[in-house]
Chains A and B, each alone.
Chain A
């Protein structure tokens, strides 16, 4: 049994070792051994970059198949607001939710409303927080994992409020079980996800607690059936459908949505892994201590850029943006009652049960003196390498190869370039 659950699996039948994944992995967690890609568990943060990069579709996101639904007496679908961005401008959440109902779920739940509540809860938390700044949003599980692995000292700055999907699932289980006289475990809560990482946050929550969700279904898997299921649905007027949209909630689909709809002045919205690394480096150096809040997503443009979405990311980003602009212009405020949110906030309703713990990478050795010695060896090995990061040895860079050798995970003779040069000398 692996220590860490991951949301991706490599199909060794399909993998032909072309190393595309090797090069895109931001944490150097992939090695190619015997012509097949393999993931180093402790380094992987489940960002999903490798899924998109693989030309053979050999890296498979572990979301749930539709069949899972039959395990429950009552099933509820909760689409990520990113789903609302997958269809044309005229198709509003109301119609999409009806379409999902037609797919075989017993009911649907509009997460945008819960997102709105959580936005208010974040605002409350920001107001009373006195510790080191900035605070960082936890909606993206990859961001949480990135912090745990690479920026362990920042884990206390992750906002300890349950993400909307978890809160909603908790609430649905409670309400539906009463209403339908069923046990909570007979009610299946399914998240329609734009990315595979939500799956691990269900199987293995970062704060070591328990998830209230029972599964996640990929938006890309549901897209086709949903398109047909929406045909023939005639909903009321556009204006009426508009009036049911929680502006605070739909913003969660794209980067900057929370900051914008809450009108937070002293905050930043960041998306994309390389950008996150830059910003987190600056936080760690204390450079951003005057910023209150960072809204962070590992996918470029936020959840609409998830690897399991269908629509072009700029189109879907734009759809959400225009929707927010329309709601602002029309002054539609179908938002949760802030007094109600404040009341529940003071009753600890929104807080996560566990705690985000750091998960730093292992040093070269437990003993500092030995680790320093190994580091010197690593530098010596690196000097002897061609430094062209060709990847033929199976490691993404010459530096990671040197590290693997020092750790005893690779042989120095694995460098094909050096071997070729040695051979040349002999001939």
Chain B
């Protein structure tokens, strides 16, 4: 029997700030892993949206970051840590429509101020921790057992 908190899979991705050529690759790999191991497709899609938003935040705002995918029999955990400007006002950043994106980012279709609220909306549990000037970390959790869904 596997224990409920035993880590079955742990995968690590490096994300480079400003590297738009490779932007989105981590979340594509995550989606492929989840499909291959048979995670429910609705959870796969929610994870895919959340990981993409998280990844793009690093590419757009931070110097570098790391995204880790951990899977236990009950949970899917995305952990993101970046080295970047951090978020001064978290409450404001969580509001839909608030954005600090530059015009260039907006032209690329980002910066609608939907990133963080969208991650929260798709996750079952979401925690954000940030030190201005140093960086931000996100914990995004999805319950694999459907009855535990929020």
Contact between B28 and A368 (Cβ–Cβ < 8 Å)?
Answer: no
Interface residues in A326-367 by Cβ distance below 8 A to B read 358, 360-366
Smallest CB gap from A364: residue in B:
B36
Contact between B38 and A368 (Cβ–Cβ < 8 Å)?
Answer: yes
Contact between B37 and A285 (Cβ–Cβ < 8 Å)?
Answer: no
- Indicate if B100 sits at the interface (CB-CB under 8 A): no
A212 to B75, CA, bound (A): 47
Contact between B45 and A361 (Cβ–Cβ < 8 Å)?
Answer: no
Partner of B41 from the list A153, A290, A362 (CB cut-off 8 Å) is A153
**Interface window among A27-35, A94-102, A249-257, A369-377:** A369-377
Chain A, interface size category, equals 20 to 34
- Indicate if B71 sits at the interface (CB-CB under 8 A): yes
Contact between B41 and A287 (Cβ–Cβ < 8 Å)?
Answer: no
Chain B hits for A205, CB < 8 A: none
- Indicate if A416 sits at the interface (CB-CB under 8 A): no
Contact between A368 and B35 (Cβ–Cβ < 8 Å)?
Answer: no
- Indicate if A152 sits at the interface (CB-CB under 8 A): yes
Interface residues in A245-296 by Cβ distance below 8 A to B read 281, 284-287, 290
Smallest CB gap from B28: residue in A:
A281
Known contacts A285-B27, A285-B48; decide if A375 and B33 are in contact (CB<8 Å).
Answer: yes
- Indicate if B142 sits at the interface (CB-CB under 8 A): no
Per-residue interface assignment for chain B, residues 1 to 39, with 1 indicating a CB less than 8 Å from any chain A CB and 0 otherwise: 010000011000000000000001001100101011111
Contact between B37 and A375 (Cβ–Cβ < 8 Å)?
Answer: yes
Contact between A285 and B24 (Cβ–Cβ < 8 Å)?
Answer: yes
Shortest C-beta distance, A284 to chain B (Å), equals: 6
Contact between A368 and B42 (Cβ–Cβ < 8 Å)?
Answer: no
Chain B hits for A363, CB < 8 A: 35-38
Contact between A286 and B49 (Cβ–Cβ < 8 Å)?
Answer: yes
Contact between B71 and A372 (Cβ–Cβ < 8 Å)?
Answer: yes
Partner of B37 from the list A287, A290, A360, A364 (CB cut-off 8 Å) is A364
Contact between A358 and B38 (Cβ–Cβ < 8 Å)?
Answer: no
Contact between B8 and A361 (Cβ–Cβ < 8 Å)?
Answer: no
- Indicate if B73 sits at the interface (CB-CB under 8 A): yes
Contact between B38 and A152 (Cβ–Cβ < 8 Å)?
Answer: no
Chain B, interface size category, equals 20 to 34
Chain B hits for A281, CB < 8 A: 24, 28
A285 to B42, CA, bound (A): 12
Chain A hits for B53, CB < 8 A: 285-286
A286 to B28, CA, bound (A): 13
Contact between A372 and B8 (Cβ–Cβ < 8 Å)?
Answer: yes
Per-residue interface assignment for chain A, residues 17 to 57, with 1 indicating a CB less than 8 Å from any chain B CB and 0 otherwise: 00000000000000000000000000000000000000000
Partner of B48 from the list A284, A290, A361, A371 (CB cut-off 8 Å) is A284
Contact between A285 and B41 (Cβ–Cβ < 8 Å)?
Answer: no
Known contacts A286-B49, A372-B8; decide if A153 and B24 are in contact (CB<8 Å).
Answer: no
- Indicate if B44 sits at the interface (CB-CB under 8 A): yes
A187 to B54, CA, bound (A): 57
Known contacts A285-B27, A285-B49, A368-B144; decide if A360 and B8 are in contact (CB<8 Å).
Answer: no
Q: List 26 A-B contacts (CB under 8 A).
A: A152-B41, A153-B42, A153-B44, A281-B24, A284-B45, A284-B48, A285-B27, A285-B52, A286-B52, A286-B53, A286-B118, A287-B52, A287-B109, A360-B41, A362-B38, A363-B36, A363-B38, A368-B38, A369-B2, A369-B73, A371-B36, A371-B37, A372-B8, A372-B37, A372-B71, A375-B37
> Nearest 8 pairs between A and B by C-beta?
A363-B38, A285-B52, A371-B37, A153-B45, A286-B49, A372-B8, A372-B9, A152-B41
The residues of B with any CB-CB pair to A shorter than 8 Å are 2, 8-9, 24, 27-28, 31, 33, 35-39, 41-42, 44-45, 48-49, 52-53, 71, 73, 109, 118, 144
> Given known contacts A358-B41, A375-B37, what 5 new A-B pairs fall within 8 Å (CB)?
A152-B41, A284-B45, A285-B27, A287-B52, A376-B9
